[in-house]
Amino acid sequence: MSDDVSGRRGLLGIAALFGAIALFIGVDLITDSGDGAGAGHLAAELTVLVAASFGLGAMLWRLGRLRRALADARQDAGRWQAENRDLVQGLGIAIARQFSAWGLTDAESDVGLLLLKGLSLQEIADLRETSERTVREQARAVYRKSGLAGRNALSAYFLEDLLPGMAA
């Protein structure tokens, strides 16, 4: 998730750089032509201007593709959520019941759910506005109280019965 955002920001930054280069070279080209610069100098600046313009166009095209792909992914996710709302709610209830049966505190339950969603300890800490060390201790409490070895076992505990078996 964060990679998508930083990737988009990176493309915007590169597009802005190409745009700035094109703008400055364009202004310099106009100024130099008015000052009687030689044809070779003007040709070199024109080449840089064309290259920067192509770079800007390429970055904007790629950014547009990323925006469309993100919109498609969000639409697919929304459709999946709508189609599976009852199943997801049932799973959420089952997870909450199991967390309660394990005797997890509210904070541990929150951390457990975020672990199941695949967030890193740092992402959970940022989201919960606490330290990564606190989240790490809460995660250890989840594993200890559940009798599970770690994140993979926690996920498998809830997903094992939902996934189809392997054909022998």
Q: Where are the domains of the chain?
A: 2-83, 85-159
CATH 1.10.260.40 fits 85-159, yes or no: no
pTM of the predicted structure, to 2 decimals: 0.53
- Is a pLDDT exceeding 60 seen at residue 99? yes
Contacts 24+ apart (CB under 8 A), 21-28: 21/48, 21/52, 21/55, 22/49, 22/52, 22/53, 22/56, 25/49, 25/52
pLDDT tens for each residue of 77-98: 999 888 888 888 888 898 999 9
User: Among 61-75, 88-102, 128-142, which range has the highest average pLDDT?
Assistant: 128-142
